[in-house]
Amino acid sequence: GVTHRPDLPLQILAGPGSGKTKVLTSRIAYMVLHHGMDPSSICAVTFTNKAANEMRARLVKLIGKDNVNKVKLGTFHAICALFLRKHGTSVGLDGNFTICDSDESKRIVTKLLKPYEDFLSSKDIQVNASTLCSLISRAKSKGETPEDVMPCKEGRHVSSKAAFSKSTNEDFQRVFAEIYRDYEKTLRKSNSLDFDDLLLFGVRLFSQHPRYAAWCQHILVDEFQDTNAVQYELMCCIAAASRCVTVVGDPDQSIYGWRSADITNLGKMQNDFPNVTQIMLEQNYRSAGSILATSLAIISQGELYRHTSRIAKILHTDHQLGPLPMLCSFPTEHDEASFIAWEINRMIAQSGGMLGFGDFAVLLRFNAISRTIENALQKEGIPNRMLGGHQFFERAEIKDILAYLQLVDNPQFEPAFSRAINTPSRGIGEKSLGEILSRAQKLGISPLTLVERIHNSIIPDLKPSVKRKVQSFVNVMRSLRSSATDGMEPAQLIGKLVELIGYQEHLKKSQPDWDTRWENVQELINFAIILVRFFLDKPFNRLHRDTTPLRQFLQASMLSSAGDQSNENDDEKVSIATCHAAKGLEWPVVFVPAVEQGTFPFYRTDDIHEERQVYHFIYLFVLTRSIRRLLYVACTRAQTSLYLTHTLKRKVAGVFKPRDLSEFISKICSNCPVSYFCETGGRHHA
């Protein structure tokens, strides 16, 4: 794969632990060093910032820092944002647009939903803002506009209809389309884009103005099985001039169907790039032979069904067979959790210092299972961390600071105004805020401009009066704006901001854990310092005059992905994570609890927005296959030891209910003459 001709497209189907990142970085180095390609003509796309940073670090060792700085390397969203900052006016965007995070999107939709609540209730339709945000995102990932989802054409079927019966479909669909339309208007009015918009406007920019992608001679895409329709179109737009693409992926690890990932993109690429070559990476460098055999047995069950389209791979490893994975049965979840804690301590004690707490992971189907396990670990004095939990940039204190800075960069961004105006409290209640927003809308100006004009007595005050209350806020905003205009860097701006608004005192008065929150603010300053140094050192970014240090800082904050702010001290803790969050990671020892019917597979769909526009049987088949892949991903995170545990009964909503072993496991145990597991009832622990 590394030495495949760079002027021809390539598909690399790579199993878990087969060295996907190494292949991509080596291929980039081969293009630069052996074919003399200009690094600035290469685009490398990852799905997380962490993966991008790892790829960047490896490339520096191969082609040097100067060359790496010229490569367009990052997530789909980051690369789109980079070009939209410079060329956004070509598609109707101002360069200082704000990236609206999921919480802000939910607040906007919550407000837009209120006028429809009585109507929906009269039709016995129950829907919340979170569901609507998911449906909007799903529509955008398929390139559907509000007009596309409006039920004006007979027989139209779109994803959002799935949630309701035929008698309510049209009513709900019309409400959904109108909220979607107003949501888009709100974003444009605030000069903001949500995460899906970054991709959609990126496609619009590169498709309508091909010259902005003419620089690309080759684009490489990691985790290709997780791309959705818009990301695939974006890849094609960037590759339009060269028709040279390298993708790396594994269909067996496609676990993001609920995010509209489209596994059929592999087939689409073969049609759109007729001369594409497909090769397999089938050697696993991570797992012991027994773990690999068990994982393959689980994923291969899909081939027992007709109509399956799985591409079979023959994975192998040079590692020894190793101990068989343990399949452990327990009376209840408390016994299961106690065993996990006991076994971790036992293995560490018997390893003679070879294993530490950081070498263990407990991978969950969903977070609700974690409470009992966390309690058991705590009882045994085992330090642990939750991966993919409350992320750094989702913390309230961080959002407070960012709101002020977003407003400095983009005065039109209403969500930032609504958060900052009363943080710390200035006595402006919901009614007064509503009056400010309403008056600003009527006058066709931003809320910030309105309060500044009230402060300056240019326009009349509101009732009740807000002129005195907004005085300190206006003074803070003007001071920050002046400093930013003079070139003050983000870290200094944050320091000035927290001093001007007395944020530390505000935390002391309002938060019992104020000291931890204040430490997070200091960490934000550290992040700003490191980020600005990094980006100012990159020649490619210095060419983008529209991307100021403040704007680059805000963009990196919004596009930060899970794991980007991991604490090195957490490396000596047992990791607890969902199977989704564990993708791409590895540990010597992995526990997968609750391997039961009702969990693997999980038939409830409250948190999985899967299509229901198919017959129930087909729906269950598709969902079951997706969750089988999830269990496969979890098992292949283990390097030397794998434990699958289940219970005979588990408490659900306060009531113990019987549980059966997952069909994914029971079928391979009954169908195969050779056992894949060392089975135990766990009684020795009692």
DSSP assignment of 485-533: HTT--HHHHHHHHHHHTTHHHHHHHH-TTHHHHHHHHHHHHHHHHHHHH
- Above 80 in pLDDT, residue 396? yes
Chain centroid offset of residue 331 CA: 36
Q: Is 327 helix (H, G, I), strand (E, B) or coil?
A: strand
Handedness of CA 538, 542, 544, 547 (dihedral sign): positive
Neighbouring C-alpha atoms within 13 Å toward the C-beta of 101: 19
Q: Please determine, for residue 569, whether its predicted confidence score (pLDDT) is greater than 60.
A: no
> Does residue 512 register a pLDDT over 50?
yes
Task: State the DSSP code for 10.
Answer: E
d(CA 20, CA 282): 11
pLDDT at 501 over 90: yes
Query: What's the CA gap between 552 and 532, in Å, rounded?
Result: 8
Average pLDDT over residues 539-547: 49
Task: Say whether pLDDT at 415 is over 90.
Answer: yes
Residues 667 and 301 sit within 8 Å (Cβ to Cβ): yes
Q: How far apart are CA 658 and CA 598, in angstroms?
A: 10
Share of the chain above pLDDT 90, in %: 56
Question: What is the number of alpha carbons within 13 Å of residue 332 lying toward its C-beta?
Answer: 8
DSSP label of 351: T
Question: What is the per-residue pLDDT for 293?
Answer: 86
Question: What is the band of 47 on the pLDDT scale with cuts at 50, 70, 90?
Answer: confident
The pLDDT, as a whole number, for residue 464 is 80
Which residue has better confidence, 48 or 434? 434
Report CA-CA distances (Å) from 430 to 421, 425, 433, 438.
11, 12, 5, 12
DSSP 553-574: HHHHHHT--TTTT--GGGGGSE
- Tens digits of residue pLDDT in 487-497: 899 999 999 99
How many Å apart are CA 301 and CA 303, to the nearest integer? 5
Listed in sequence order, the residues at least 6 apart from 550 whose beta carbon sits closer than 8 Å to its beta carbon are 405, 408, 409, 484, 489, 490, 493
Residue 279, beta-bridge partner list:
12
Q: How confident is the model at residue 204 (pLDDT cuts 50, 70, 90)?
A: very high
Tens digit of each residue's pLDDT (9 = 90 or more) over 640-668: 999 999 999 987 766 788 999 998 888 88
| Mean pLDDT across 455-462 | 92
CA angle 8, 12, 15 (to 5 degrees): 175
- Cα–Cα distance, 10 to 274 (Å, whole number): 11
> What is the rounded average pLDDT of the residues 98-111?
93
Query: Given a cut of 90, is residue 541 above it in pLDDT?
Result: no
Contacts of residue 608, defined as CB under 8 A and 6 or more positions apart, other chains included, come to 258, 602, 623
| Inter-residue contact 451 to 466 (CB < 8 Å) | yes
- The mean-pLDDT minimum among 253-262, 352-361, 603-612, 665-674 falls in 603-612
**Which band of pLDDT confidence, cut at 50, 70 and 90, is reported for residue 26?**
very high
Query: Rounded to 10 degrees, what is the CA torsion of 470, 474, 477, 481?
Result: 160
Pick the residue with more confidence: 287 or 643? 643
Q: What is the mean pLDDT of residues 585-599?
A: 92
Listed range (1-5, 457-461, 520-524) with the worst mean pLDDT: 1-5
How much is the average pLDDT of 357-369? 90
CB contact at 8 A, 406 and 413: yes
What would the mean pLDDT of 200-228 be, rounded to a whole number? 94
Instruction: Please give the share of the chain, as a percent, with pLDDT higher than 70.
Output: 83
Read off φ and ψ for residue 657, nearest 5 degrees. Answer: -125, 140
Predicted confidence band of residue 259 (pLDDT cuts 50, 70, 90) = low
Per-residue pLDDT, 534:
61
How many whole angstroms separate alpha carbon 160 and alpha carbon 609?
Answer: 10
**pLDDT in the model for residue 312:** 58
What are the residues whose beta carbons fall under 8 Å from the beta carbon of 561, sequence distance 6 or more? Answer: 47, 48, 49, 50, 75
Query: In whole numbers, what is the pLDDT of the chain averaged over residues?
Result: 84
Sequence-ordered alpha helix ranges (H) in 217-319: 229-238, 265-272, 289-299
Residue 562 pLDDT greater than 60, yes or no? no
Identify the pLDDT of residue 294: 87
Residue 415 tokens, joined: 């969500």
